[in-house]
Amino acid sequence: MKKLFLFCLILHVGMFTSFAADPVKMWGQLQVKGNQLCSEQGAPVVLRGVSYGWHNLWPRFYNKNTVKWLKNDWKCTVLRAAMGTVIEDNYIENPDFALQCINTVVKAAIKNNVYVIIDWHTYYPQKEEAKAFFSMMAQKYGKYPHVIYEIYNEPMEDTWESVKEYATEIITEIRKYDPDNIILVGSPHWDQDLHLVAADPLQGFDNIMYTFHFYAATHGQELRDRVEAAWNAGIPIFVSECAGMEASGDGPLNVPEWQKWIDLMERLQISWVNWSISDKNETCSMILPRADKNGGWDESLIKPYGRLVREYVRKYNAYVYPDKK
């Protein structure tokens, strides 16, 4: 009997260890319960990872090797594929190339068992194009629990009423083909007006979360208070884009303010994704231009902000990816 017990214990530990390196195997089909992202079993889940930069500006990083590297070395549990629908060579102008980039990352995320956000990366509504795109994505990937849909990156000048109308149509289209994967909804003023969401949230949909974006050197305690107030009002929040510098994406890092944001997100168990895997000459681009497009980056190829992102993601995801040494 003791030998049987020991065998079962070893088997259980071995299974947990193998699952622990595969977030989707560990948590399965995500769901929203109250204001909390939860696993298939109903336990709270916090996803932490990075966002690729605009596909139409930094397509070289949109390959299966970076997905594997960001999982295995950076210890990401979620990646965000930012499909640009504005600026030059965007999805509207060149859909075949955009789909090639996005499909490559999504398929690699599925293979590597990490969650992946399909992000409609724009600043103004393109409703009919978005509806057709997300219909296509839901039909293609709706059966996979790995996929999360972000239907509108950052509304700028929209009212909350117009965003709700847009979201209702896109969500309805997605739900024709995918009944349960998480859908992320933005809010006015670059995803920061959560007080408007809290006063009048969407009705009639399950597994919906609301995105919030911050750049720590610009956005401080007033917005942290807004996030917490919305969370206390029962609003499920997902920080799908954040960083430690100014809102321009440039300028100096403010690490103390950044840490305050991280402390808040960890206390409230809010998922967070850092911007971005790109190589522009700006603070928020994490990778140097001479770095290989396929990953394999040592610290000499990662810019200072990127080194901190890697350090934070590895630290807070350590329980998912235990040190095997």
Sign of CA dihedral 286, 289, 292, 294: positive
User: How far apart are alpha carbons 82 and 91 in whole angstroms?
Assistant: 11
165 assigned to active site: no
154 assigned to active site: yes
Find the largest Cα–Cα distance for the chain.
Answer: 68
Instruction: Give residue 42's region: left, alpha or beta (phi > 0; psi -120 to 50).
Output: left
User: How far apart are alpha carbons 210 and 159 in whole angstroms?
Assistant: 15
User: How far apart are alpha carbons 275 and 249 in whole angstroms?
Assistant: 9
Residue 63 has what DSSP assignment?
A: S
Q: Which of 154, 173, 246, 257 is catalytic?
A: 154
Q: Which of 173, 241, 246, 257 is catalytic?
A: 241
User: How far apart are alpha carbons 276 and 302 in whole angstroms?
Assistant: 12
Query: CB–CB of 305/278 below 8 Å?
Result: no
The residue whose two tokens read 């139409």 is 56
Provide the annotated active-site residues. 154, 241
